[in-house]
Amino acid sequence: MDDVTAILDPLNDAQREAVTAPAVPMLVLAGAGSGKTRVLVHRIAWLMQVEGVTPFGIMAVTFTNKAAGEMRGRIEQLIGGPAGSMWVGTFHGLAHRLLRLHCREAGLREGFQILDAEDQHRMIKRLLRAMEMDDGRWPPRQIQWFINARKDEGLRARHVADNDDPVQRQFIRVYHAYEEACERAGVVDFAELLLRAHELLRDNESILRHYQQRFRHVLVDEFQDTNAIQYAWIRLIAGKDGCPFIVGDDDQSIYGWRGAKVENLQRFQNEHPEHRVVRLEQNYRSTGTILRAANALITHNNDRLGKNLWTDGEEGEPVTLYAAYNERDEAQYVVESLRQYLRDGGARSDIAILYRSNAQSRVFEELLMAEAIPYRVYGGLRFFERQEIKDALAYLRLMANRDDDPSFERVVNVPTRGVGQRTVEQVRAQARADGSSLWKAAGELVNSGRISARAGSALTRFIDLINRMAEDSADLDLHEQVDHVIQVSGLYEHYGKEKGEKADARLENLDELVSAAQAYEPDPLEDELPPLASFLSHAALEAGEGQSDAWEECVQLMTLHSAKGLEFPLVFLTGLEDGLFPHQRSIQDPDGIQEERRLCYVGMTRAMRHLYLSYAESRRLHGSETYGVPSRFLAEIPADCLHEVRPRVQVSRPATLTGGGLAQAPVDGITLGSRVHHAAFGEGIVLNREGDGPQARVQVNFEGVGSKWLVLAYAKLESLS
C-alpha cells in the first residue's frame, strides 16, 4: 500500500479530504492556485488504487484540449502506466466520441464531419442569401450566435417560441433552414455535438443505462464554465446513483457571455442533497500581498459561495500601481520594469503582459520589437484555421463525403477553374429545387445540359478532379493521401504564386499539414472510422497551437481570458480604465460588472511574486484619443497593498489616492464620469474631454439623445455630482 502514500503525501488536509471522499456527489470549491488539477488527478489515482475502480469506469471532462492533455499526462505519471480505456477529454471531444460510436442511433451518417465556427458562419451567410434575406438587416454573426445560444440551452428550432416577435420569427426560420442544410450535408457544428449527444442519451434507454453503469465516476473540471447542455449531459451520465466529482470556482467564472452558468454550482448542490463540499483555500502560487489585494477585490461581488484564499508563504512586495500618461507611456513603463527583471536574472517566459482586449497588444508588441525582446502573442489564427489548410481539408472532406456543401462551396473554384459566381448560383438553385446537395445538383446540371458549355465543362472538370483524387489516393497512407490532394488539386501551385513572403509561409503550412497527417494516430477508443475521416474530425476538434514561434524564451502577451489557468512569476495587468476594463459593454449591467471583476481577480491571481497594475490617463482607442478614469476595481484594492509609482499630477486629469482608493481630482467641476445637465439634451454622463480653458470640448452621453460633443464655453453644463 505504499502507492497510497504516493497519492496522499503531497496533499494538504483539504485536498486529502476531497481525494479520499466516500462515494457521494462531491463539490470541490477550488480557489486560484489551490491545486485543483492535482486533486482531480490524485482522486482518479485513489479511485483506481484504493477503491478498485478500473480506468474503464472513469470519465474526466475538461473544457480545453490542453487541460485534457495535461490531466491525462499527470494521471499516467502518477499511476505509472497508460490510462487506457479511461475517458479523458473535452466536453466536445467526448460528445464526439459518443456520436461516432452510436451515429446510427444519433441520426447521423457514418462519416459525419464537424463544422467549425468559420464554416458555420459561411453556411449561414449562404442560407441568408438563398432565403433572400438582407445580410445587412440580418447580420450572420448575430444569427450564428442565436443558433448556438439556443443549442447551448438544449433547444432545437422547433422548440424556440417566437413570442409574436417578427425578428425572432426570422431567426427561427433561419435556424430551421440551417438544421436542414446541416442534415443534408452530413455535418454538425460544435454546439450540435453536445446537443446531439445529450439527445442520444436522453432518448435511448439502453445506451444511457450502459454509460450510467459504466461511468460511476464522472469528474468535471472548471464546472463554473458549464452551460445548460453540458450540465444536463453530466446529469444524465451520472444518473441517480452516480457520484459526480465536480471541481470549480465561482470567483473564476468569466464565460457567462458565452452561455456558462455559474448557477450550475448552486444547482448541483440543490439537486444532490447528499453532496459534500470541500473548499481548497490554501494558495500555493502567490505572495500574501497579492492574495490580500485579490481577496479584497473579489469581496465586492455578491452571491459568492464564499472562500478566502490564504497562504503560509511570504508577504512579498506590494502590488505596484502605475498611472501612465498614455498607452505608450504605459508600455514603456512595462518594458522598463521587465527589463529590470531580466537584468536581475529572470527568464522571459516568467513574464506575462495581460490586457482586456486583443487590440491592446499592439503597443506592447511595437515596443518589444523595437527593444528586440522576444515575445509571443497568444490567440489569433491557429494551424487548422488557416486559409490554405482549410482549403486542403475541404478537398479531403469532399472526397470523404460528396454531400459536404460547405466544403464544396469553399473549393469549387479554388484555385480558379472557371466556375464563376453565376455557375455556382445555378448549382445552388438546382440543389434547392431538388432538395439535394450541391454535388448532386452539379452532376444533375451537367447531365441535363441546362448550362452553358463552358460552365458545364468547368464543373465537369471539378467533379472529375474530386472523383479522380479519391480513386487515385484510395490505397495510399493518410499522409500520402493528403500530399496527393494538395498537389493534384492545384492548391500547392496556386499558393506558390501568391506574392510576398506569404507564399512561402503558406506552402510551409501545407507541407506541415502532410507532416501532421503523418504524425496522426487515430483514437483507439472510437475508431472503426477510415483514417481520413478520423483525421478531419481531429483537425476540427483540435485546431492546433496558435502561431507558436517555437519554444524560444518569450515574454507572454495575452488577454485576461486566455490567461486563466496559467501562472507567472511576474504579471503586468494593464489598461485598468473604466470603459476598457471593466469594458464599456459590461458597465451598465451589474452582472456584467461582476464578471469583469472576476476577470480582474483571475488576472491578479495569475501572479506568483510580482504584480504590476497600470492604467493610462489618455489612450488612442478606435482611432481617436480618449480620456479614461482609473478602473473602479483599483479603488477596491486596499491602499496598503499598493505601491503607487510616479503618480502623475497635472496631466490632463490628475488622479490621487485618497482614503484607500483612487478618486479623481475635479477639473472645473466637469469631471469624466460625472453627471451633468444640459438645457436642451437633459442629463448625461461625461465621457471624454479635449483641450483646456473655455474652448475645451467634452463628450457627453445623454440619456435618450446619445452622445454629443459640446464646447464648454457655450454648452452651459451644470454639474450634478
Partner DNA sequence: AGTGAAACACTTTTT
Partner DNA sequence: GTGTTTCACT
Residues that bind DNA (CB under 7 A): 63-66, 90, 92-93, 116-117, 125, 135, 190-191, 257-258, 356-359, 362, 379, 413, 416-421, 541-543, 558-559, 561-562, 583, 585-586, 592, 596, 620, 622-623
The answer to whether 67 is annotated as binding is no
Q: List the catalytic residue out of 120, 252, 430, 605.
A: 252
As a whole number of angstroms, the distance between CA 19 and CA 44 comes to: 8
Q: List the catalytic residue out of 397, 606, 609, 632.
A: 606
Contact 611, 604 (CB under 8 A): yes
| CA 80 vs CA 47, 84, 273, 291, 565: distances in Å | 15, 12, 36, 35, 25
| DSSP structure class, residue 257 | G
Place of cell 497593498: 641
As a whole number of angstroms, the distance between CA 42 and CA 3 comes to: 11
To 10 degrees, what angle do helices 387-400 and 531-541 make?
A: 140
Instruction: Say which residues have a Cβ less than 8 Å from residue 588's Cβ, sequence separation at least 6.
Output: none
Closer CB to DNA, 258 or 468, in the complex: 258
Cα dihedral 560→563→567→568 (10° resolution):
-60
Helix/strand/coil for 626: strand
Q: List the catalytic residue out of 222, 327, 330, 595.
A: 222
**Minimum Å distance from CB 710 to DNA?**
22
Closer CB to DNA, 25 or 579, in the complex: 579
As a whole number of angstroms, the distance between CA 32 and CA 598 comes to: 11
The answer to whether 35 is annotated as binding is yes
Give the type of residue at 35. Answer: G
Give the type of residue at 488. Answer: V
| CA 4 vs CA 44, 80, 373: distances in Å | 12, 13, 46
As a whole number of angstroms, the distance between CA 531 and CA 146 comes to: 34
113 belongs to the catalytic site: no
Closer CB to DNA, 506 or 561, in the complex: 561
**Minimum Å distance from CB 462 to DNA?**
11
| CA 40 vs CA 66, 75, 244, 247, 308: distances in Å | 15, 9, 12, 8, 21
Could you check whether the bond before residue 415 is cis, i.e. omega within 30 degrees of 0? yes
Closer CB to DNA, 257 or 714, in the complex: 257
- Opening angle at CA 571, ends 568 and 574, nearest 5: 150
66 belongs to the catalytic site: no
Burial of 134 (0-12, 13-18, 19+ CB in 10 A): exposed
Contact 438, 431 (CB under 8 A): yes
Closer CB to DNA, 619 or 689, in the complex: 619
Report residue 625: phi and psi, to 5°: -75, 130
As a whole number of angstroms, the distance between CA 167 and CA 172 comes to: 9
| DSSP structure class, residue 286 | S
Under the phi-then-psi rule, with left for phi > 0, alpha for psi from -120 to 50, and beta for the rest, what region is 599?
Answer: alpha
549 belongs to the catalytic site: no
Strand pairing class (555-559; 351-355):
parallel
Q: List the catalytic residue out of 37, 266, 269, 320.
A: 37
The answer to whether 30 is annotated as binding is yes
As a whole number of angstroms, the distance between CA 606 and CA 565 comes to: 8
As a whole number of angstroms, the distance between CA 683 and CA 676 comes to: 6
For 84, how many CA atoms within 13 A lie in the half-sphere containing its CB? 9
The answer to whether 37 is annotated as binding is yes
**Minimum Å distance from CB 444 to DNA?**
21
Q: List the catalytic residue out of 221, 327, 329, 636.
A: 221
As a whole number of angstroms, the distance between CA 88 and CA 66 comes to: 12
36 belongs to the catalytic site: yes
Among 334, 300, 359, 354, CA closest to 636: 300
**Minimum Å distance from CB 65 to DNA?**
4
Closer CB to DNA, 260 or 670, in the complex: 260
Closer CB to DNA, 41 or 424, in the complex: 424
Strand pairing class (718-719; 675-678):
antiparallel
**Minimum Å distance from CB 623 to DNA?**
2
Closer CB to DNA, 414 or 629, in the complex: 414
Closer CB to DNA, 413 or 664, in the complex: 413
Q: List the catalytic residue out of 36, 97, 376, 386.
A: 36
**Minimum Å distance from CB 6 to DNA?**
30
Closer CB to DNA, 292 or 597, in the complex: 597
Strand order in the sheet with 682-690: 706-711, 697-702, 682-690, 675-678, 718-719
**Minimum Å distance from CB 707 to DNA?**
14
Closer CB to DNA, 15 or 688, in the complex: 688
527 belongs to the catalytic site: no
Q: How many CB atoms lie within 10 A of CB 600?
A: 28
- 363: which 3 cell numbers? 503597443
366 belongs to the catalytic site: no
**Minimum Å distance from CB 616 to DNA?**
15
Give the type of residue at 449. Answer: G
Binding residues: 30-37
Tell me the catalytic residues: 36-37, 221-222, 252, 606
Binding residues for ATP: 30-37
